[in-house]
Structure 1
Amino acid sequence: MNYSLKCLNCGTIYDPKDVMYTCPKCGPRLGTLEIVIGEYPRYPSFDLKSKGIWAFSEFLPLDEDHHEVPLFIGNTPIYEKKSLAQKMGLSDLWIKDDGRNPTGSYKDRATAMAISKAKSLHVNTIYCASTGNAASSLAGLTAASGMKSIIFVPKTAPEAKITQLLVYGATVMAVDGTYDEAFDLSMEIGNEFGWYSRNSAINPYLLEGKKTGSMEVAVQLDFKIPDFAIVSVGDGTVVSSIYKGFKDMKMAGLTDKIPKVIGVQSEGANAVMRTFESGHFDRPIDIDAHSMADSIAVGKPRDVLKACKWVKESGGYFVSVTDEEIGKAIIELARETGVFGEPAGAAAYAGLKKIAKSIQGKSAVIFITGNGLKDVKSARNFTSQVNYVKPDPKDVKDVLRKIGLI
């Protein structure tokens, strides 16, 4: 594909051969780059069933000898939920379950692109900082591709996610600090040793992998685009990618609109929302982030400029939800739809509930970005208790009677 790199801050256009990560004029925070497609394919076909994300190769900045991770990524299911839509007053509602990717999260789409680029550069070691999902994605996909991964996580990351990293054979650095401190540390070490970066916003190619999620939605819905697209927000790359995927489909003449993109943040980690509402996108507001939704507990978002600009361009906005609302959303989402999302994934559902009254009669798609099995401890805090019984029918009946089932 013919493409160039454009700085979202100063507008400078770069040849991909001249710049790898960010605009040298604007620096790593504001110099986030956009992949600009030179010419959109005229008659693309999308074989999601056999190719997954690579069905969109004509829309991706791939090298001629690009490497495809030998695990099936993408073509995740989308479920129409008419009864739930009716209950919320919506015309239609779809749930896009990306917890069904190989390592259980949306991040596999981005990692596939990072690995492809690293292979083209003949670099065998990739690093990243992560609160969990990007880390497990990198660990799993590099293992499948015969590569090495060095991963920096806050030591507070859920045990299930850290275990995933170790199972895949990653080298794990559990940092006694925040995600943001782990991020800065990873950049310093990664640059020193010449490893390839899989850090959000720093690497513009990650968003290109992530945009395939919304492109899939377009194909799966026969190019009939919902009015709203709702997704949780941490660093800002996923919400930006949702817009970019829908935009690319419209620019190629395959669809007639871009949905309003709604970014959902945890109340204790809503730095992107605060920046958006300030109106000064080039002056990010950083905070000390805390949330049960570890995947979006980011206080110094790296893709804040892109997220704010593109959500605004879509006509969308940001909302925040409490940890209590997220916890209840995990349970309600599972019981209403059968989809078990981790806290960050269920945050999107909590966000929908918050705005439902203001979008009556409209259609919406929710992106569930991670599988609930990644953080069962958080979900367990919002479930009912186990009924312990003796191996005696009478004891079972006594319990059933007590809880009103007989």
Structure 2
Amino acid sequence: MGQVSGTRWAHGCELLEYRYGPDLLPGRADGGPAGMWRYRALLPVDPGPIHYPVPVGGTPLLALPGLRAVTGVPELFVKDETRGPSASNKDRATALVLEGGLRTGADTITTASTGNAAVATALGAAAVALRSVIFVSTGCRPDKVGLMRAAGAQVFALADGYSAAVELSRAAAREFGWLDRNTGVNPYTTEAKKTVALEIWEQLRRQPPDVVVAPVGDGPTLAGLAKGFDELLACGGIERLPRLIGVQAANCQPLVRAWAGADGSATSGAPGDPASGATTIADGIAVTRPTAGALALDAVRRTGGAMVAVPDDALSAAGATLLRYGGLGSEPAGAAGLAGLVAALAGGLVDRAERVVVMLTGRELAAGPTPVPEPAAPVIEPDLDAVRAALADHPRN
């Protein structure tokens, strides 16, 4: 206890250190801040009031009798991360990045995304009156682009795909001094996601589950879960780590291939391009070159877990099962956790007698009764001069 521990994140962009000990964990009767800020002693947030105004975190851990019966897992729980403002697990990362930005006087936040992270960024920026500039692939779903624009984001599309969108977003952040929220690149995105593990621990009466199953795209969700449980261990809150099982779509499974030793290049840290051979209904995890792939695979290895791939029909079936037996809406990527559990049970990776937590990471979100702006985002070239011209030609609405 009390040791200093540092972790260097993807691209070596920052070293975050904490002095671990039981005093950093909230007490059983602690009536402190709600949601993810309950764990601020383990977050890179300086003392003082929290400025981010929208509640984030504190999502329920659901024991659903119908789902337990149909899966044959009597101690199955669903961690429902769809209860936040953007209906996805991207809200935690957005909140922590914006909280840091508000404390340093940022006026613009940028990210590239396959969809959900950009929607969360647009909504979060609107909540704190910051400008958001978002870069997507031309293959990004029009309804999600429309939702970003309805929240006031300036959205630009690149024909070169997600990889080019990430590179341009990061270059623009450096050039114009914008806040960089890119997943797996900004370490705060993983720091925020570790609070899911801390919540699960408290919701299970300060005990770890045996297994956590989660969808994996870029990798920070799995890496964040691992870091949360690692820190619980370092603080004396738990005596063992749960096994982590990552789930990818069969049509886009770079980390599953890397796990099996077929393609080590999948962990290189280069951002992915969903348009490059990835044809899956699970657009939220359709990333061919995950930014935090090495961290995700390390989390799986260290915990004795596994990586599994599931076909699109299994993703659709999992979504239908969540609705029919749990009353929970989901998008295909969000339902990948349940589809992965079914595959893991069939493959002998999980025993039905174990205590299992499945992550539900996203559901569809409509813009509401107000008209959605024309969803087509302007297509630009992947260079900073094109960004300057686009910002001048398409001012914030």
Quickly say closer, same or farther: Cα 1:180–1:251, change in 2 above 3 A.
Answer: same
Contact 2:254 2:263 survives alignment (8 Å) = no
Q: Residue 332 in 1 paired to residue 321 in 2?
A: yes
Distance apart, 1:137 and its partner CA: 0.8
Once the two structures are superposed, residues 76-123 of structure 1 have per-residue CA deviations (whole angstroms, 9 ceiling, x without a partner) of: 111113453344343410011111111111111001111122223322
1:192 to 2:175 alignment: yes
Q: Residues 356 and 318 (structure 1 numbering): CA distance in 2 closer, same or farther, change over 3 Å? A: same
* Alignment map for 1:356-375 (pairs within 5 Å): 356-357=345-346, 358=348, 359-360=350-351, 361-373=353-365
Query: What displacement does 1:290 show?
Result: 2.7
Deviates more, 1:193-202 or 1:285-294: 285-294
Q: CA deviation at 1:275?
A: 2.0
1:278-297 aligned within 5 A: 278=261, 284=267, 288-297=277-286
The residue type paired with residue 179 of structure 2 is: Y
Q: Which protein has the bigger helix share?
A: 1
**Structure 2 residue aligned with 1:37:** 18
Q: Does 1:72 align with 2:73?
A: no
Equivalent residue letter for 1:334: L
Q: Give the counterpart of 1:317 among 300, 306, 315.
A: 306
Counterpart code for 1:38: R
2:341 alignment partner in structure 1: 352
What is the deviation of 1:41? 4.6
Cα distance in 1 for partners of 2:366, 2:31 equals: 26
Give 1:125 shift.
Answer: 1.0
Give the count of matched residue pairs. Answer: 355
Distance 2:31 2:260 in 1: 38
**1:19-61 Cα distance to aligned partner (Å, 9 max, x none):** xxx6xxxxx3xx3656342233526326589511100111111
The alignment status of 1:206 with 2:189, answered yes or no, reads yes
How far apart are the structure 2 equivalents of 1:89 and 1:300? 35
Q: Which residue of 2 aligns with 1:57?
A: 40
* TM-score (norm. length: structure 2): 0.82
For 1:7, the equivalent position in structure 2 comes to 8
| TM-score, normalised via structure 1 length | 0.81
Residue of structure 2 in register with 1:101 after alignment: 84
- Cα distance change of structure 1 residues 48 and 334 upon mapping to structure 2, 3 Å threshold: farther
Distance in 2, matches of 1:121 and 1:73, equals: 21
Contact 1:105 1:370 (C-alpha < 8 Å) held by counterparts: yes
- Higher radius of gyration, 1 or 2: 1
1:339 partner amino acid: L
**In structure 1, C-alpha distance between the alignment counterparts of 2:240 and 2:366, rounded to whole Å:** 35
Residue 135 of structure 1 is matched in structure 2 by: 118
For residues 309 and 153 of structure 2, the distance between their equivalents in structure 1, rounded to whole angstroms, comes to: 34
Answer yes or no: is 1:155 the counterpart of 2:156: no
Question: Deviation at 1:351?
Answer: 0.5
1:218 & 1:227 partners in 2: Cα distance?
11
Return the alpha-carbon distance in structure 1 between the equivalents of residues 59 and 296 of structure 2: 24
Q: Which residue of 1 aligns with 2:236?
A: 253
Shift of 1:325: 1.2
Cα contact 1:89–1:356 (8 A) shared by 2: no
User: 5+ residue gaps in structure 1?
Assistant: 9-21, 23-27, 376-406
Rate the CA distance shift 1:374–1:240 in 2: closer, same or farther, 3 A. Answer: farther
Q: Is the 8 A contact 1:32 1:202 kept in 2?
A: yes
**Are the counterparts in 1 of residues 114 and 284 from structure 2 also a CA contact under 8 Å?**
yes
Contact 1:66 1:116 in 2 (8 A): no
The answer on whether the counterparts of 1:3 and 1:35 sit within 8 Å (CA) in structure 2 is: no
Aligned residue type for 1:229: V
Question: Which runs of 5 or more structure 2 residues have no equivalent in the other structure?
Answer: 368-397
2: distance between equivalents of 1:306 and 1:92?
28
Q: 1:341–1:368: 8 Å Cα contact kept in structure 2? A: yes
Percent identity, please. 32
Q: Deviations over 1:330-359 (max 9, x none)?
A: 111111111111111101111111112422
Distance 2:319 2:128 in 1: 33
Q: Does the Cα contact within 8 Å between 1:97 and 1:367 map onto a contact in 2?
A: yes
- The Cα offsets for residues 113-159 of structure 1, whole Å up to 9 and x where unpaired, read as 11122223322111000111111111111111121111111222223
Given the alignment, which residue of 169, 172, 175 partners 2:152? 169
* CA deviation map 1:180-220 (0-9, x unaligned): 22112212222221211101121111111111112111111
